Amino acid sequence: MNPALSVIFFTTASGAGYGMLVTLGLYAAVGRLPNDLWFALTAMVVSLGLITAGLLSSTFHLGHPERAWRAFSQWRTSWLSREGIMAIATYVPALLFGLAWAFPTYVPLPQSLLGILSAVFALGTIYTTAMIYRSLKPIHQWHNKHVVPSYLMLGVMTGAMLVLALTTLFGERTAFLTPVCGILFAAGLTVKWLYWSFIDTSAGASTPTSAVGLSGPNVKVTSVEWPHTEANYVLKEMGFQVARKHAARLRHVAIWAGFLLPAVALEASILLPAMAPLLLMPATVLMAIGIIAERWLFFAQAKHTVTLYYGSSSA
Amino acid sequence: MTSLPATTDKKLGLVIDLDTCVGCQACVTNCKEWNTGGLMAPLTDLKSYGAEADGVWFNRVHTYEVTGHEACGASASRTMHFPRSCLHCETPECVTVCPTGASYKRTTDGIVLVNEDLCIGCKLCSWACPYGAREFDVFEGVMKKCTLCVDRIYNENLAEEDRVPACVLTCPTSARHFGDLGDPNSDVSKLVASRGGVDLMPELGYKPTNKYLPPRARKDSAAARPTPELKPITADGFLGWVDKLLSR
C-alpha cells in the first residue's frame, strides 16, 4: 500500500496525542497529577495539538475535504465513520479535563472522573483507527489480530513517553512514570515483534490462481501482459513495491530508535536524575523517528490482493 | 446508506467466458466510450498522449499464461485473457466501509453504485475491494466504478436489443453475457450451471455476483492431429518443360 505521508503523520501524531490523554487521565485517576498551571497547559496543548494536527492532516488526502462532515453519518457499518465520531467526541471530556486540571478554582469539576473519561475515549479512538485497517480483508498484513494491540500499545507508549519528557522539563516527580514507560517500551516492542514475525511467516489465503478463478493441484498462472502500459490508480495506490533490504534496514531503525535507545535513555535517567531532561528530550525525538519508520513499514509492507492480477505470487 | 440489503429482488451481473475471450480490448474501449458520457462521466484521462498516460477505466483485460490446467491439452501452456471489472458482490465491503453513504447497493437489482455528490474521496472503498475494481478520479476528487451500464439496461430511448451493458453489446466473440443471476432459470444462470462458472477469490467471502467460466478442457490437441504430408507436385506440358529446365 502506498505510504501516504498525511496518513503516517495522522496515525503517529494523533496516536501519541491520545496516548498522552490516556497517561494524564490515569495519572489523575490515581491522584498523582501535579497541580502546576504551566505544566497542565503545556501538556494539554501538546496532547490536543498533536491530535488536532493529525486529524487535519488526515483530511488533506481527501478528494473533497469540504465534505468531510458527511463522514460522521455511516457509523453503523464504517470504522472510518466511527473513528471520526470518536475523535470529535473525545474533545469533550478532554477539554473539560484540561480546564478542571489547569484552573481547579474556576472549573471545579471532578478531575479523576474526567481523566478516566478522557482516557477511555482516547483508547476508543485509537481502537477505531486500528479497526479501519484490521477490517480490510484484501490486505493480509492488516487483517490480523496483531494490528489492534500494536496501535493501542504504541499510542499509549509514545504518549506516556511524551508526558514523562514534559514532567522532567517542568521538574515534576517522575518516580512513578519512569518504570511505567520502561514496561510500555518492552510491551510495545513485544507486540510489534509478534506482528513482524506474523507477517514474515504467513501469507494471505488468496493466490494468483484463485484471483482468476482457476483451481487444480498443478495450475500455475503467470502474468504475460498488463492491461495498460503505464501505472494506473490501482497500482499507484495499492501496488507500492518496497525492496526487501530497504524494509529490513527500516525495521532496524524502528527497533533501535523507536524502542531500544529510548529505553536505554530511560534507564540512564533513573541513574542520573539530574540529567533526566537532557536524556529524555532527545530520546523522545528518537522515538518519534522510530515510530514513523514503523508506520511507514506498516503501509509499505502491506500487500493488496489486486497485486495478484499484476504478477505478484502472494498477497 | 452503507448497510447492505438482506436480499435484492434481482442479482444483475455478468458472466465472462475465459474460454472464448480473445483479449481484443473491444469491451474496454466501448465501456470507456459509453461511460465517459454516462452516469459516472467523465472518465477523466490525464496526460493522454504523454509518457505517463493515466486515466479512469472500469474494465481492464489482463493476459496470462496458464500451465497445468486441462485447458492446455497436450500443449505446455495456454494463453488466457482475463477481463477484470466490478463483480457487484452480494456482500461488497467497498460499500460498508464508506463513511459518508456515497457507496450503496441497490435493493432492486443488486447493482453497486457511487453517489458522486456524497463522495469525499477518502479512497477507503478502493482498499476494501479485493479485485481493484474502483478507480479514483484525481481530477474530480471522487471514486468511480462500473455501473453495470445502469443508464443503458433500463434506457427506453435505446432499442430493446441494445439494453445491455456496453461491454456485452460490443464483444465480438460473445464471451460476455448479461442477466439475472438470482433467477436459476435465466440464460446466464443456466450457462453458469452447465459450464461450472466460478467466483473470483471466494475465500474472502465477498460473494461476487459476476461469474467466470474457466477455459474448457482441450481434447483434440495439436499433437493428436498430425499434419498430412504435402503431395509432390508434378507438372507436364509447358510448365513441365520449365520445371525441368529450372531443376537442372
The band of B9, judged by pLDDT with boundaries at 50, 70 and 90, is: very high
State mean pLDDT over A261-284: 93
State mean pLDDT over A89-109: 96
Q: Indicate the burial class of A207 (C-beta count within 10 angstroms; 0-12, 13-18, 19 or more).
A: buried
Quote the DSSP letter at residue B130: T
B202 chain-A contacts, CB cut-off 8 A = 210
Any A CB within 8 A of B9 CB: no
The reply to whether A65 falls in a domain is yes
The reply to whether A303 falls in a domain is yes
The reply to whether A315 falls in a domain is no
The reply to whether B243 falls in a domain is no
A65 chain-B contacts, CB cut-off 8 A = 120
The band of A244, judged by pLDDT with boundaries at 50, 70 and 90, is: low
> Is the separation of the CB atoms in A254 and A290 below 8 Å?
yes
CATH assignment of the domain containing A250: 1.20.1630.10
Q: Is the pLDDT assigned to residue A240 strictly greater than 60?
A: yes
Q: How far is A144 from chain B (nearest CA, A)?
A: 14
The band of B230, judged by pLDDT with boundaries at 50, 70 and 90, is: confident
In order of B67, B80, B217, the CA distances from B73 in angstroms are: 10, 14, 7
Cβ pairs bridging A and B (under 8 Å): 206
CA dist A257 and A289 (Å) reads: 7
CB contact under 8 A, A79 and B126: no
CB contact under 8 A, A213 and B129: no
The band of B237, judged by pLDDT with boundaries at 50, 70 and 90, is: confident
Chain A CA closest to residue B101: A74
CA dist A285 and A154 (Å) reads: 15
CB contact under 8 A, B101 and A74: yes
Tell me which residues of chain B, numbers 171 to 230, contact chain A at a CB-CB cutoff of 8 Å: 198-206, 212, 214
Task: State residue B14 phi and psi, 5-degree precision.
Answer: -115, 150
CB contact under 8 A, A237 and B84: no
Q: Is the pLDDT assigned to residue B13 strictly greater than 60?
A: yes
Q: Is the pLDDT assigned to residue B227 strictly greater than 80?
A: no
B68 chain-A contacts, CB cut-off 8 A = 216-220
Q: Is the pLDDT assigned to residue B221 strictly greater than 60?
A: no
The band of B229, judged by pLDDT with boundaries at 50, 70 and 90, is: confident
B102 chain-A contacts, CB cut-off 8 A = 70
B84 chain-A contacts, CB cut-off 8 A = 227, 309
B132 chain-A contacts, CB cut-off 8 A = 234, 238, 304, 306, 309
B143 chain-A contacts, CB cut-off 8 A = 63
CA dist A126 and A281 (Å) reads: 25
Model's pTM, two decimal places? 0.93
Cell of A201: 511467516
Lowest model confidence (mean pLDDT) among A49-53, A228-232, B199-203, B232-236: B232-236
- Model pLDDT, residue B144: 97
The band of B224, judged by pLDDT with boundaries at 50, 70 and 90, is: low
Task: State residue B121 phi and psi, 5-degree precision.
Answer: 70, 40
CB contact under 8 A, B68 and A306: no
Domain count, chain A: 1
Name B71's Cβ contacts closer than 8 Å, sequence gap at least 6. B19, B78, B80, B214, B215, B216, B217, B218
Q: How far is A88 from chain B (nearest CA, A)?
A: 15
Give the range of the structural domain holding residue B167, as residue numbers without chain letter: 12-224
Question: Hey, what amino acid is at B119?
Answer: C
Higher pLDDT, B112 or A61: B112
Cell of A42: 503545556
Q: Is the pLDDT assigned to residue A174 strictly greater than 80?
A: no
Nearest to B100 among A73, A139, A304 (CB): A73
In order of A226, B35, B129, B144, the CA distances from B138 in angstroms are: 22, 17, 18, 10
CB contact under 8 A, B128 and A136: yes
CA dist B122 and B100 (Å) reads: 10
Helix crossing, A5-29 with A79-102: angle to 10°? 40
CA dist A80 and A88 (Å) reads: 13
A214 chain-B contacts, CB cut-off 8 A = 66, 69, 214
Q: Is the pLDDT assigned to residue A10 strictly greater than 60?
A: yes
Q: How far is A299 from chain B (nearest CA, A)?
A: 12
Q: How far is B231 from chain A (nearest CA, A)?
A: 40
- Per residue in A120-152, pLDDT (tens digit) is 999 999 999 999 999 999 999 999 999 999 999
The reply to whether B133 falls in a domain is yes
- Closest C-alpha to A162, from A289, A52, A293, A281: A281
CA dist A4 and A22 (Å) reads: 27
State mean pLDDT over B189-210: 98
A135 chain-B contacts, CB cut-off 8 A = 93, 97
CB contact under 8 A, B126 and A139: no
A205 chain-B contacts, CB cut-off 8 A = 203-204
Chain B CA closest to residue A2: B127
- Per residue in B56-93, pLDDT (tens digit) is 999 999 999 999 999 998 888 999 999 999 999 999 99
Cα angle vertex B121, ends A17, B97, to 5°?
A: 75
Nearest to B64 among A132, A136, A222 (CB): A222
The band of A273, judged by pLDDT with boundaries at 50, 70 and 90, is: confident
The band of B231, judged by pLDDT with boundaries at 50, 70 and 90, is: confident
Cell of A116: 478516566
The residue whose grid cell reads 522515538 is A287
Any A CB within 8 A of B244 CB: no
CB contact under 8 A, B122 and A136: no
A306 chain-B contacts, CB cut-off 8 A = 129-132
- Model pLDDT, residue B232: 78
Any A CB within 8 A of B66 CB: yes
Tell me which residues of chain B, numbers 14 to 53, contact chain A at a CB-CB cutoff of 8 Å: 18, 28, 51-53
Lowest model confidence (mean pLDDT) among A33-47, A119-133, B131-145, B216-230: B216-230
The band of A172, judged by pLDDT with boundaries at 50, 70 and 90, is: confident
Domain count, chain B: 1
- Model pLDDT, residue B243: 83
- Closest C-alpha to A94, from A10, A177, A16, A18: A18
- Closest C-alpha to A298, from A96, A12, A48: A12
State mean pLDDT over A275-303: 95
Q: Is the pLDDT assigned to residue A247 strictly greater than 90?
A: no
CB contact under 8 A, A136 and B51: no
Q: Is the pLDDT assigned to residue B222 strictly greater than 70?
A: no
> Is the separation of the CB atoms in A147 and A195 below 8 Å?
yes
The reply to whether A182 falls in a domain is yes
Nearest to A213 among B67, B102, B212 (CB): B212
State mean pLDDT over A291-308: 95
Name B190's Cβ contacts closer than 8 Å, sequence gap at least 6. none
Q: Is the pLDDT assigned to residue B192 strictly greater than 70?
A: yes
State mean pLDDT over B95-113: 97
Give the range of the structural domain holding residue A222, as residue numbers without chain letter: 5-310
- Model pLDDT, residue A302: 94
Name A99's Cβ contacts closer than 8 Å, sequence gap at least 6. A106, A107, A109
The reply to whether B215 falls in a domain is yes
CB contact under 8 A, A214 and B66: yes
CB contact under 8 A, A132 and B55: no
A234 chain-B contacts, CB cut-off 8 A = 126, 132, 135
CB contact under 8 A, A73 and B199: no
CA dist A267 and B242 (Å) reads: 104
The residue whose grid cell reads 533501535 is A256
Cell of A63: 478528494
CATH assignment of the domain containing B97: 3.30.70.20
- Within A30-78, residue ranges assigned H as helices are 37-60
- Model pLDDT, residue A305: 97
